[in-house]
Copies of this chain bind each other. A is one copy, B any other.
């Protein structure tokens, strides 16, 4: 019996039925790019004083997504989003995406093209294309994406080690929405069972395909921010990394992190705690930065940087956070 890839099996031909060449042709049709199709992709030249940045992330079926919860389009979108978030978190602008797809032979080609379409559509607002890739057979569907970006001009990249006491901590983007969406999917057991309510559906979408705001990374670098990262493994978890790498203490302002109405609503439905989602939920890809200036447009203050002390690297209003866990991939 064929594996049920989230119901995406309605008689569609599989990758092993059509073979490598036809699968690659289908991907190219779903995510067209002029530069895709040779041994390697040739990227556009960049201004002389530029440096490139590069990052890679893997999404594993059953670990980072479920095809009975997410559409293939959303899986592709999420893979691009989390890589572009890392490019943004350096203050960079994405310029290219490459995909390595490991697929079981019985995977319908329509799932592959759905993933490619999600990548292409998510990259398009940045002026970026899927420029290369590889497709192989494996026992589990695994989507590995590499994003390349550019840092234009001589300003430094925004790294996690440059926060200094006296800087404010700023954020751009929602916090806790992806975790709330996951909690809703787990509570109702399937996506179809989630009530047809725009607030709840939006949170679920925010988990299956979190959204980035185009250009916030370059804005942060142009505005002279000091350190930056993104909320991929959990707010406290990722800021703990920043605290350790910068040799500082992060004190968050509890009032600024108060869960929004959407989170309280989802918590009422599921019986969850919205503060857990805010403090430990990852995959929002909220940009988290530090600065000694006014926060740039689109950023709000959520805390401040202090001298490193003996206690917790990250506190909320001076206290140990009530939740501190974060995502561990292994």
Q: A19 is contacted by which of B64, B89, B92, B328 (Cβ under 8 Å)?
A: B328
Q: Which residues A280-296 have CB closer than 8 A to chain B?
A: none
- How far apart sit A142 and B141, CA to CA, in the bound complex (Å)? 11
Tell whether, in the assembled complex, residue B132 and residue A330 are in contact, meaning their CB atoms are under 8 Å apart: no
Residues of B within 8 A of A52 (CB): 42-43, 46, 52, 148
Which interface residue of A55, A60, A96, A230 has the most chain B CB atoms within 10 A? A55
How far, in Å, is A182 (CB) from chain B's closest CB?
Answer: 17
- How far apart sit A229 and B92, CA to CA, in the bound complex (Å)? 32
Tell whether, in the assembled complex, residue A63 and residue B138 are in contact, meaning their CB atoms are under 8 Å apart: yes
Count this chain's copies in the assembly: 2
Residues of B within 8 A of A85 (CB): 39
Tell whether, in the assembled complex, residue A90 and residue B42 are in contact, meaning their CB atoms are under 8 Å apart: yes
Tell whether, in the assembled complex, residue B63 and residue A40 are in contact, meaning their CB atoms are under 8 Å apart: no
Q: With an 8 A cutoff between CB atoms, is A135 at the interface? A: yes
- How far apart sit A87 and B90, CA to CA, in the bound complex (Å)? 26
A113-138, CB under 8 A of B: which get 1 and which 0?
00000000000000000011111111
Q: A39 is contacted by which of B45, B86, B138, B151 (Cβ under 8 Å)?
A: B86
Residues of B within 8 A of A137 (CB): 60, 63, 329-330
Q: With an 8 A cutoff between CB atoms, is A23 at the interface? A: yes
- How far apart sit A44 and B49, CA to CA, in the bound complex (Å)? 11
- How far apart sit A57 and B98, CA to CA, in the bound complex (Å)? 10
Q: Using A39-B160, A40-B89, A159-B38 as known contacts, say yes or no to A56 and B100 having CB atoms under 8 A apart.
A: yes
- How far apart sit A63 and B89, CA to CA, in the bound complex (Å)? 36
Residues of B within 8 A of A140 (CB): 138-140
A58-85, CB under 8 A of B: which get 1 and which 0?
1010011000000000000000000001
Q: Name 22 A/B residue pairs within 8 A (Cβ), A-sorted.
A: A16-B330, A38-B157, A38-B161, A40-B87, A40-B89, A40-B92, A41-B55, A48-B48, A54-B131, A55-B132, A56-B134, A58-B144, A100-B100, A102-B142, A103-B330, A105-B330, A135-B329, A135-B330, A136-B329, A139-B139, A140-B140, A148-B148
A-to-B contact residues, CB < 8 Å? 15-16, 18-21, 23, 38-46, 48-58, 60, 63-64, 85-87, 89-90, 92, 96, 98-103, 105, 131-140, 142, 144, 146-149, 151, 157, 159-161, 228-230, 328-330
